[in-house]
Amino acid sequence: MTATLRLLASAIALVAGLCVLTASAADLPKESQKKATAADILTLQKYTEDIVAEPAKNKKLIPGAKALVLILGTRGDPALAAQATTVGKALEKKDYKAAAAAAQGLLSPKAEGKAVTFEYDLNDVMAPFRLTRSGGLNIEKDIKDAISPRGTGKIEPAVAELIGARTAPLADIIDTMPNDKAKTNSAMTAKWSKFSKDMAKASKELTEEGGKGDKADPKKLIATLKKLDASCSNCHNEFRD
Ligand code: HEC
Protein backbone atom coordinates (compact mmCIF):
# COMPACT_ATOMS: atom_id res chain seq x y z
CA MET A 1 0.00 0.00 0.00
CA THR A 2 1.28 3.47 -0.77
CA ALA A 3 0.02 6.81 0.34
CA THR A 4 0.79 10.39 -0.35
CA LEU A 5 0.36 13.11 2.15
CA ARG A 6 0.34 16.81 1.60
CA LEU A 7 2.54 17.58 4.55
CA LEU A 8 2.75 21.27 3.93
CA ALA A 9 -1.00 21.50 3.60
CA SER A 10 -1.46 19.64 6.87
CA ALA A 11 1.10 21.85 8.59
CA ILE A 12 -0.83 24.91 7.44
CA ALA A 13 -4.03 23.32 8.72
CA LEU A 14 -2.40 22.90 12.12
CA VAL A 15 -1.30 26.53 12.18
CA ALA A 16 -4.80 27.59 11.24
CA GLY A 17 -6.17 25.52 14.11
CA LEU A 18 -8.26 23.34 11.85
CA CYS A 19 -6.91 20.18 13.34
CA VAL A 20 -9.04 19.02 16.25
CA LEU A 21 -7.69 15.53 16.93
CA THR A 22 -7.88 14.83 20.66
CA ALA A 23 -4.35 13.56 21.09
CA SER A 24 -2.50 14.67 18.02
CA ALA A 25 1.17 15.44 17.71
CA ALA A 26 0.32 19.13 17.62
CA ASP A 27 -0.72 18.95 21.29
CA LEU A 28 2.70 17.84 22.48
CA PRO A 29 4.58 20.21 24.78
CA LYS A 30 6.43 22.78 22.63
CA GLU A 31 9.71 22.22 24.45
CA SER A 32 9.54 18.45 23.86
CA GLN A 33 8.81 18.99 20.18
CA LYS A 34 11.78 21.36 19.90
CA LYS A 35 14.18 18.85 21.44
CA ALA A 36 12.83 15.98 19.35
CA THR A 37 13.01 18.07 16.17
CA ALA A 38 16.70 18.81 16.79
CA ALA A 39 17.39 15.08 17.32
CA ASP A 40 15.36 14.09 14.26
CA ILE A 41 17.13 16.59 11.99
CA LEU A 42 20.57 15.33 13.09
CA THR A 43 19.50 11.71 12.55
CA LEU A 44 18.02 12.41 9.12
CA GLN A 45 21.19 14.26 8.08
CA LYS A 46 23.31 11.32 9.25
CA TYR A 47 21.10 8.73 7.54
CA THR A 48 21.14 10.54 4.20
CA GLU A 49 24.92 11.10 4.38
CA ASP A 50 25.47 7.42 5.15
CA ILE A 51 23.25 6.41 2.21
CA VAL A 52 25.30 8.61 -0.15
CA ALA A 53 28.60 7.29 1.24
CA GLU A 54 27.70 3.58 0.94
CA PRO A 55 24.37 3.08 -0.84
CA ALA A 56 24.48 -0.73 -0.97
CA LYS A 57 25.27 -1.11 2.71
CA ASN A 58 22.98 1.66 3.90
CA LYS A 59 19.83 1.23 1.81
CA LYS A 60 18.23 -0.21 4.95
CA LEU A 61 18.19 3.37 6.31
CA ILE A 62 15.78 4.60 3.61
CA PRO A 63 12.50 3.60 5.32
CA GLY A 64 13.63 5.18 8.60
CA ALA A 65 14.70 8.32 6.76
CA LYS A 66 11.25 8.57 5.17
CA ALA A 67 9.65 8.15 8.58
CA LEU A 68 11.77 11.01 9.96
CA VAL A 69 10.58 13.18 7.05
CA LEU A 70 6.99 12.37 8.03
CA ILE A 71 7.63 13.11 11.70
CA LEU A 72 9.26 16.47 10.88
CA GLY A 73 6.23 17.28 8.75
CA THR A 74 3.98 17.16 11.81
CA ARG A 75 5.85 19.61 13.99
CA GLY A 76 3.76 22.61 13.03
CA ASP A 77 6.45 24.46 11.06
CA PRO A 78 5.46 24.81 7.38
CA ALA A 79 8.99 25.73 6.21
CA LEU A 80 10.45 22.71 8.00
CA ALA A 81 7.69 20.49 6.58
CA ALA A 82 8.39 21.75 3.05
CA GLN A 83 12.13 21.19 3.39
CA ALA A 84 11.58 17.73 4.88
CA THR A 85 9.28 16.65 2.07
CA THR A 86 11.96 17.78 -0.41
CA VAL A 87 14.21 15.22 1.28
CA GLY A 88 11.41 12.64 1.02
CA LYS A 89 10.85 13.33 -2.68
CA ALA A 90 14.58 12.95 -3.41
CA LEU A 91 14.60 9.63 -1.51
CA GLU A 92 11.60 8.47 -3.53
CA LYS A 93 13.50 9.31 -6.75
CA LYS A 94 16.59 7.52 -5.37
CA ASP A 95 18.56 10.76 -5.78
CA TYR A 96 20.46 10.29 -2.53
CA LYS A 97 22.84 13.21 -3.11
CA ALA A 98 19.89 15.57 -3.47
CA ALA A 99 18.34 14.05 -0.35
CA ALA A 100 21.49 14.66 1.69
CA ALA A 101 21.79 18.21 0.33
CA ALA A 102 18.17 18.98 1.19
CA ALA A 103 18.68 17.49 4.66
CA GLN A 104 21.51 19.98 5.21
CA GLY A 105 18.93 22.74 4.76
CA LEU A 106 16.67 21.48 7.55
CA LEU A 107 18.25 23.62 10.27
CA SER A 108 17.35 26.83 8.45
CA PRO A 109 14.54 25.86 6.09
CA LYS A 110 13.34 28.44 3.59
CA ALA A 111 9.59 28.59 3.27
CA GLU A 112 8.80 28.19 -0.39
CA GLY A 113 5.10 27.65 0.05
CA LYS A 114 5.19 24.63 -2.23
CA ALA A 115 3.31 21.50 -1.23
CA VAL A 116 5.67 18.65 -2.05
CA THR A 117 4.31 15.13 -1.89
CA PHE A 118 6.19 11.88 -1.75
CA GLU A 119 5.29 8.23 -1.53
CA TYR A 120 5.66 6.10 1.55
CA ASP A 121 4.04 2.97 2.92
CA LEU A 122 3.28 1.36 6.27
CA ASN A 123 6.64 -0.38 6.25
CA ASP A 124 8.33 3.06 6.19
CA VAL A 125 6.12 4.32 9.02
CA MET A 126 6.97 1.27 11.16
CA ALA A 127 10.73 1.53 10.47
CA PRO A 128 11.59 3.72 13.51
CA PHE A 129 10.44 0.85 15.77
CA ARG A 130 13.13 -1.47 14.42
CA LEU A 131 16.58 -2.01 15.89
CA THR A 132 19.23 0.59 15.17
CA ARG A 133 21.29 -1.99 13.28
CA SER A 134 18.30 -2.66 11.03
CA GLY A 135 17.99 1.03 10.21
CA GLY A 136 15.45 1.87 12.89
CA LEU A 137 15.43 4.19 15.89
CA ASN A 138 15.37 1.28 18.35
CA ILE A 139 12.00 2.35 19.79
CA GLU A 140 10.52 -1.13 20.28
CA LYS A 141 13.66 -2.40 22.03
CA ASP A 142 13.88 0.67 24.27
CA ILE A 143 10.28 0.04 25.34
CA LYS A 144 10.82 -3.70 25.92
CA ASP A 145 14.12 -3.18 27.77
CA ALA A 146 12.24 -1.04 30.28
CA ILE A 147 9.02 -3.01 30.73
CA SER A 148 9.57 -6.68 29.94
CA PRO A 149 9.79 -9.10 32.90
CA ARG A 150 13.55 -9.28 32.47
CA GLY A 151 13.81 -5.57 31.77
CA THR A 152 15.31 -2.84 33.93
CA GLY A 153 11.93 -1.55 35.13
CA LYS A 154 13.01 2.02 34.53
CA ILE A 155 13.65 4.55 31.79
CA GLU A 156 15.44 7.89 31.60
CA PRO A 157 12.84 10.68 31.44
CA ALA A 158 14.59 12.26 28.42
CA VAL A 159 14.54 8.93 26.57
CA ALA A 160 10.84 8.50 27.34
CA GLU A 161 10.16 12.06 26.21
CA LEU A 162 11.87 11.49 22.86
CA ILE A 163 10.10 8.16 22.28
CA GLY A 164 6.74 9.82 22.92
CA ALA A 165 7.51 12.82 20.73
CA ARG A 166 8.23 10.40 17.88
CA THR A 167 5.49 7.83 18.43
CA ALA A 168 2.75 10.48 18.80
CA PRO A 169 3.06 11.78 15.22
CA LEU A 170 3.61 8.23 13.93
CA ALA A 171 0.33 7.19 15.59
CA ASP A 172 -1.55 9.98 13.81
CA ILE A 173 -0.05 8.84 10.50
CA ILE A 174 -0.78 5.13 11.16
CA ASP A 175 -4.39 6.12 11.83
CA THR A 176 -4.66 7.36 8.22
CA MET A 177 -3.19 4.14 6.77
CA PRO A 178 -5.42 1.15 7.55
CA ASN A 179 -3.95 -1.94 5.87
CA ASP A 180 -5.95 -4.27 3.61
CA LYS A 181 -7.28 -6.34 6.48
CA ALA A 182 -8.39 -3.20 8.33
CA LYS A 183 -10.28 -2.11 5.22
CA THR A 184 -12.39 -5.27 4.94
CA ASN A 185 -15.29 -3.61 6.79
CA SER A 186 -16.04 -0.52 8.83
CA ALA A 187 -15.82 -2.33 12.18
CA MET A 188 -12.28 -3.42 11.34
CA THR A 189 -11.35 0.09 10.22
CA ALA A 190 -12.73 1.45 13.49
CA LYS A 191 -10.57 -1.02 15.43
CA TRP A 192 -7.48 0.07 13.55
CA SER A 193 -8.29 3.66 14.34
CA LYS A 194 -8.90 2.90 18.02
CA PHE A 195 -5.49 1.22 18.40
CA SER A 196 -3.86 4.19 16.65
CA LYS A 197 -5.62 6.64 18.96
CA ASP A 198 -4.65 4.56 22.03
CA MET A 199 -1.09 4.80 20.77
CA ALA A 200 -1.37 8.58 20.27
CA LYS A 201 -2.79 9.08 23.76
CA ALA A 202 -0.14 6.99 25.53
CA SER A 203 2.57 8.70 23.46
CA LYS A 204 1.37 12.12 24.51
CA GLU A 205 1.26 11.15 28.19
CA LEU A 206 4.74 9.68 27.90
CA THR A 207 6.08 12.89 26.34
CA GLU A 208 4.50 15.02 29.04
CA GLU A 209 5.74 12.91 31.95
CA GLY A 210 9.22 12.47 30.44
CA GLY A 211 9.38 16.21 29.79
CA LYS A 212 9.28 16.80 33.56
CA GLY A 213 12.89 15.58 33.69
CA ASP A 214 14.08 15.05 37.29
CA LYS A 215 10.53 15.59 38.51
CA ALA A 216 9.08 12.82 36.34
CA ASP A 217 7.36 9.99 38.24
CA PRO A 218 9.32 6.79 37.42
CA LYS A 219 6.28 4.58 38.11
CA LYS A 220 4.08 6.64 35.85
CA LEU A 221 6.68 6.49 33.09
CA ILE A 222 6.69 2.68 33.23
CA ALA A 223 2.89 2.44 33.47
CA THR A 224 2.58 4.72 30.43
CA LEU A 225 5.18 2.74 28.47
CA LYS A 226 3.10 -0.38 29.18
CA LYS A 227 0.01 1.35 27.82
CA LEU A 228 1.94 2.34 24.72
CA ASP A 229 3.23 -1.20 24.28
CA ALA A 230 -0.30 -2.59 24.64
CA SER A 231 -1.51 -0.38 21.79
CA CYS A 232 1.24 -1.82 19.56
CA SER A 233 0.52 -5.45 20.53
CA ASN A 234 -3.25 -5.09 20.25
CA CYS A 235 -2.94 -3.86 16.70
CA HIS A 236 -0.30 -6.43 15.73
CA ASN A 237 -2.40 -9.30 17.12
CA GLU A 238 -5.35 -8.20 15.06
CA PHE A 239 -3.79 -6.88 11.88
CA ARG A 240 -0.20 -8.00 11.39
CA ASP A 241 0.40 -11.30 9.58
C1 HEC B 1 -2.95 0.40 14.20
C2 HEC B 1 -2.06 -0.70 14.01
C3 HEC B 1 -0.65 -0.69 14.50
C4 HEC B 1 -0.12 -0.02 15.56
C5 HEC B 1 -0.82 0.89 16.56
C6 HEC B 1 1.28 -0.36 15.60
N7 HEC B 1 1.61 -1.20 14.58
FE8 HEC B 1 3.47 -1.95 14.18
N9 HEC B 1 2.75 -2.82 12.49
C10 HEC B 1 1.43 -2.87 12.11
C11 HEC B 1 1.32 -3.63 10.87
C12 HEC B 1 0.04 -3.91 10.11
C13 HEC B 1 2.65 -4.01 10.51
C14 HEC B 1 3.09 -4.76 9.26
C15 HEC B 1 3.51 -3.70 8.27
C16 HEC B 1 3.80 -4.18 6.90
O17 HEC B 1 2.92 -4.77 6.28
O18 HEC B 1 4.92 -3.93 6.43
C19 HEC B 1 3.51 -3.49 11.56
C20 HEC B 1 4.90 -3.66 11.58
C21 HEC B 1 5.72 -3.35 12.65
C22 HEC B 1 7.12 -3.68 12.75
C23 HEC B 1 7.92 -4.43 11.72
C24 HEC B 1 8.63 -3.52 10.77
C25 HEC B 1 9.50 -4.37 9.89
O26 HEC B 1 9.04 -4.78 8.84
O27 HEC B 1 10.64 -4.62 10.27
C28 HEC B 1 7.55 -3.24 13.96
C29 HEC B 1 8.95 -3.37 14.53
C30 HEC B 1 6.43 -2.60 14.61
N31 HEC B 1 5.32 -2.69 13.78
C32 HEC B 1 6.48 -2.03 15.85
C33 HEC B 1 5.43 -1.30 16.42
C34 HEC B 1 5.50 -0.62 17.69
C35 HEC B 1 6.69 -0.63 18.62
C36 HEC B 1 4.30 0.01 17.87
C37 HEC B 1 3.82 0.87 19.03
C38 HEC B 1 4.70 1.88 19.55
C39 HEC B 1 3.46 -0.31 16.72
N40 HEC B 1 4.18 -1.11 15.86
C41 HEC B 1 2.17 0.13 16.56
C42 HEC B 1 0.36 -2.29 12.76
C43 HEC B 1 0.46 -1.45 13.89
d(CA 13, CA 8) in angstroms, rounded, equals 9
d(CA 64, CA 41) in angstroms, rounded, equals 12
d(CA 205, CA 142) in angstroms, rounded, equals 17
Mutation pick for ligand 1 pocket among 129, 183, 196 (CB with most ligand atoms within 8 Å) = 129
How many percent of the chain have pLDDT more than 70?
87
State mean pLDDT over 119-136.
94
Give the domain ranges of the chain: 3-239
Q: What is the pLDDT of residue 111?
A: 64
Tell me the per-residue pLDDT of 191-200, one tens digit each, with 9 for 90 and over: 999 999 999 9
Supply the residue whose CA is at minimum distance from atom 6 of ligand 1. Answer: 232
d(CA 201, CA 227) in angstroms, rounded, equals 9
Ligand 1: centre distance to CA 16 (Å) = 31
Each as own residue / partner, the long-range contacts of residues 217-223 (CB below 8 Å, 24 or more positions apart, any chain) are: 218/154, 218/155, 221/154, 221/155, 221/157, 221/160, 222/146, 222/147, 222/153, 222/154, 222/155
Tell me the per-residue pLDDT of 96-105, one tens digit each, with 9 for 90 and over: 999 999 999 9
Which atom of ligand 1 lies nearest, measured to the CA of 130? 29
Q: Which residues line ligand 1 (CB under 6 A)?
A: 122-123, 126, 129-130, 139-140, 167, 174, 179, 192, 195-196, 199, 228, 231-232, 235-236, 239-240
Supply the residue whose CA is at minimum distance from atom 23 of ligand 1. Answer: 126
